[in-house]
Structures are given as structure tokens and as C-alpha cells.
Amino acid sequence: MDTPLLIAGLGNPGSQYAKNRHNAGFIVADELHAHYRFGPWKTKFEGLLSEGSLAGRKTWLLKPQTFMNLSGDSVGPALRFFKLPLESLVVVHDEIDLAAGKLKVKTGGGDAGQNGLRSISATCGANYRRVRLGIGHPGDKERVTGHVLQNFSKDDIAWLKPLVDAMVEAAPLLAKNDDAGFMSRVALQLAPPKDPKKKDTE
């Protein structure tokens, strides 16, 4: 892949938000940064930017520091500065319309009320890849804001850590534009090990 990749993890800046469900994108970006030994974070494009590579493809990680609702004010200038096509953008974000612990990758589409996506689509266009990390819906529209701005619970951490680890391990497939392979690899990593003592019953 000659064209570099820009992976934007979405969240809100500040330590008080660090463990919020809404900061799932930041959490994934930080783990990618550590695992693949990206360069130091630098303040640029109203965000934190780091350079490295995934599967031999030059890759930038970006954590917008604009607050979620204005994510496009960081992602848009970065995309333009590096002269990247929209297909080179991957946005990692929390998704209330997916069950907690589920993962889905899709290109384009609506923002489903996710204000970070709304801002990026308004600034850049909608035809970019989204890595949607399910955090579940609280069941009542009035409780959505409180739900996303609450810290991940202890029960959440039990599924979040294995999921993020699996996403990080499979990330080179994203760099190869193999979204289906990425999702399959993550699912395989999370599948419970088969018990060798149990034999398939007829």
C-alpha cells in the first residue's frame, strides 16, 4: 500500500474522561501506539499525532483533542495536510447501537447519533471506514449521554480488555484494507477455547 493510513481514535480530552465508554477510540489508539512502537505523540491538527507503520504501511495515529462533537476540526486538517483520500481514513469509535463487546467495521453510512462521526462526515465526507466498538444501549434515549460519559464498569473491563487486545493484534489487516479478515481474526481471538475432552455429539 503506497498510500499512508490515518487511524483516528475518538474520545474526549482530559483525565476525567479517560475511562469513559465514549473514549473507546482513545483507548484503542493508545494500545496500538504502545504495541507497534509508534513515535512520540506530538500536538498537531488540534490533536495528538504519532507516526509509525502497520504491516509495512506508513500509518498515523490521531487523537483529536477538540472534544468529541468537533472531531472533524482535527481529522479534516490532518487528512488535507497529508493529501490522503477518504479511503485512507479509519475512525475507531464507541457505538451504542451495537451490543457491548461486539465489533463491526463498515465504510460510509450514517452517523447513528454519534457526534464525532457527524462532525467528521460534515468536514470530510462520509465515505471512510469506521471501526465500531459496541458499548450497548442503556435502553432509554434520555440515559444515553450519562451512559457514554460513565466509566467502563468492572463487568465491562472483562470484555473490553480481550476485545482491545484482539483488535490490536489484528490491526495489520486493517492496514491491508482487509476489513472482513480483521473482523474474523478478532472473532477468532475472542472465541472460547475448545475443550479437548468434549467430543462432538452426533
Give dist(CA 138, CA 58) in Å, integer. Answer: 38
**CA distances from residue 144 to 7, 69, 97, 136, 148 in whole angstroms, order as listed:** 26, 15, 11, 10, 6
DSSP reduced 3-state for 165: helix
Return the higher-pLDDT residue of 198 and 172: 172
Let me know: does 55 contact 72? Beta carbons within 8 Å: no
Backbone dihedral angles phi then psi of residue 112, each to the nearest 5 degrees: 50, 35
Give dist(CA 6, CA 75) in Å, integer. Answer: 9
Percent of the chain past pLDDT 90, that is, above it, reads: 88
Digit-coded pLDDT (tens) for 117-145: 999 999 999 999 999 999 999 988 899 99
From 22, 33, 93, 147, active-site residue:
22
Digit-coded pLDDT (tens) for 26-54: 999 999 999 999 999 999 999 999 999 99
Phi-psi group of 125: left, alpha or beta (phi > 0 → left; psi -120 to 50 → alpha; rest → beta): left
Residue 202 has pLDDT above 50, yes or no: no
The predicted pLDDT at position 191 comes to 85
Q: Which domains does the chain have, with CATH numbers?
A: 5-190 (3.40.50.1470)
User: Is-catalytic flag, 35?
Assistant: no
